[in-house]
Structure 1
Amino acid sequence: MFDHVSVLVNDYDESRKFYDKVLALLDFALLFESVDEKFAAYGSRDPETGGLPKFLISQSKTPITASSVHVGFSAPSTQVVDQFYKLALELGASDNGSPGLREHYAKGYYGAFVLDRDGHNIEFVHRIV
């Protein structure tokens, strides 16, 4: 249904460092960037997906004081969910739900949640089948 998601950030450089590292766990890389506009686009370099951006960040023109954004990324395994959570906290994110099964969402739903520096609720989820 969705083609891509874009979020505004308060500190582009710090957010770029954060997303460069956590999205690398999903084999997402920086596909293009406008340094002047402080805009970055991430996606898979896999030829099957055509290198299309799926997640974008850009510098907000006004300070972000609260966020209601929630982005859930599909992870290939529970181990990647665990790695994401640990790495995100090391990079300055806040805990918003440690890794674990959440079968009240769906059978086999294994996820972890953090709040990035701007308060965006970022989740990695793996669906155990």
Structure 2
Amino acid sequence: MIDHMSVPVAVPAVSADFYSKALAPLGYTVVMEMGPVSALGAPGEAGEALPDLWLTPGESFAPLHLALTATSPEQVDAFHAAALAAGGRDNGAPGERAHYHPGYYAAFVLDPDGHNLEVVCHNGPVGQAPS
């Protein structure tokens, strides 16, 4: 099980703003800041939001793919809308990706640094193509 991960970003304040808005539908907020480093988290089983997504300054990096789990297709839809409103670039509208498995319902957005941010629900509606 992954405990946390760091994502390199060019402008930490811009990325912290983007991620906090884009991931708000999943319950994520900035829970810790240490200089230019921001850590986001969502409440877990104990109700406390632990920092599991760290945004760290970086100058040169290859874009990465980060996928987070949603509890419902509606949460995937809300993420996609929030991420676009926060300045993300569409990289795949919400919908089923049956080539992964039936019910794999996801949306993809590129963050300010070009990282591919995905939110997926594994028990989404079957037979619903991306819009």
TM-score, normalisation: structure 1:
0.86
Question: Which whole-Å CA distance do the structure 1 matches of 2:49 and 2:111 have between them?
Answer: 25
SS at match of 1:25: helix
Q: Are residues 1:95 and 2:107 paired? A: no
| Cα displacement (A) at 1:54 | 1.3
- Summarize deviations over 1:72-125 as a string: whole Å, max 9, x none: 111111111111112211222111111100011012100000110101010010
Question: Which whole-Å CA distance do the structure 1 matches of 2:67 and 2:44 have between them?
Answer: 20
Identify the residue that residue 13 of structure 2 maps to in structure 1.
13
Identify the residue that residue 67 of structure 2 maps to in structure 1.
72
Where in structure 2 are there 5+ consecutive unaligned residues?
Answer: 125-131
Question: Which whole-Å CA distance do the structure 2 matches of 1:95 and 1:103 have between them?
Answer: 20
Query: Does the 8 Å CA contact 1:29/1:45 hold for their aligned counterparts?
Result: no
Identical columns (%): 40
Q: Which amino acid aligns with 1:10?
A: A
Residue-pair matches, total: 124
Query: Does the 8 Å CA contact 1:97/1:114 hold for their aligned counterparts?
Result: yes
Question: Which whole-Å CA distance do the structure 2 matches of 1:84 and 1:92 have between them?
Answer: 12
TM-score, normalisation: structure 2:
0.85
Identify the residue that residue 32 of structure 1 maps to in structure 2.
32
SS at match of 2:26: coil
Question: Which whole-Å CA distance do the structure 2 matches of 1:45 and 1:86 have between them?
Answer: 22
Q: Which amino acid aligns with 2:8?
A: L
Identify the residue that residue 86 of structure 1 maps to in structure 2.
81
Identify the residue that residue 54 of structure 1 maps to in structure 2.
52
TM-align CA RMSD: 1.7
- Summarize deviations over 1:3-37 as a string: whole Å, max 9, x none: 11110111111111111112221112211101x3x
Structure 1's consecutive aligned runs of 4 or more residues displaced over 6 angstroms after TM superposition are none
Where in structure 1 are there 5+ consecutive unaligned residues?
Answer: none
Aligned counterpart in structure 2 of residue 44 of structure 1, from 33, 38, 42: 42
- Summarize deviations over 1:36-87 as a string: whole Å, max 9, x none: 3x10111124461653211110121x245x41x1111111111111111122
